[in-house]
């Protein structure tokens, strides 16, 4: 069974940093492209970042470029999101999301999400 379990969310002050982790199981992690997608409270979905299976290719939304860094450790079946210079508008549930096999883009599995709150 495919499982994606996020951790690392919490309350952080504006300008602070946080590192999110996603533990993957039930599939060959290195064979899949992965993403972070977020959802502000009561709002819609916003794609944040993408990473290829090897980790060599990365994309970012303009809203987080230069502040967030996506990475993965295929030996540990883990995905990460390092978030720096956090702003109030980064407050959201952050989902770890797996791309559909053989494609880049559509997400077929999502974690349960971890809440990040940026507030003083």
Q: Identify which range of 9-17, 66-74, 79-87, 110-118 contacts other proteins by CB under 8 A.
A: 110-118
Smallest distance from other proteins to CB 2, Å: 12
Among the residue ranges 12-20, 73-81, 83-91, 96-104, the one whose residues contact other proteins (CB under 8 A): 96-104
The C-alpha atoms of residue 87 and residue 112 are separated, in whole angstroms, by: 23
Binding to other proteins, residues 23-52 (CB under 8 A): 44-47, 50
Q: How far out from the chain centre does Cα 104 lie? A: 15
Min dist CB 75 to other proteins, Å, is 26
Nearer CB in complex with other proteins: 30/60? 60
Q: How far is CA 17 from CA 14, 20, 27, 54, 59, in A?
A: 9, 10, 30, 26, 20
Residues 40, 20, 4, 60: is their CA dihedral positive or negative?
A: positive
Q: Check binding of 103 to other proteins (CB under 8 A).
A: yes
């Amino acid at each position: 069974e495919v499982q994606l379990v996020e951790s690392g969310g919490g309350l952080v002050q504006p300008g602070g940093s946080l590192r999110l982790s996603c533990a993957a199981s039930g599939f060959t992690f290195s064979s899949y492209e992965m993403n972070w997608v977020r959802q502000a409270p009561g709002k819609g979905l916003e794609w944040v970042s993408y990473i290829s299976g090897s980790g060599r290719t990365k994309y970012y939304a303009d809203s987080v470029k230069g502040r967030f860094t996506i990475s993965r450790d295929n030996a540990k079946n883990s995905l990460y999101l390092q978030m720096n210079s956090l702003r109030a508008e980064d407050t959201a549930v952050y989902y770890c999301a797996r791309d559909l096999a053989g494609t880049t883009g559509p997400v077929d599995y999502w974690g349960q999400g971890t809440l990040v709150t940026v507030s003083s």
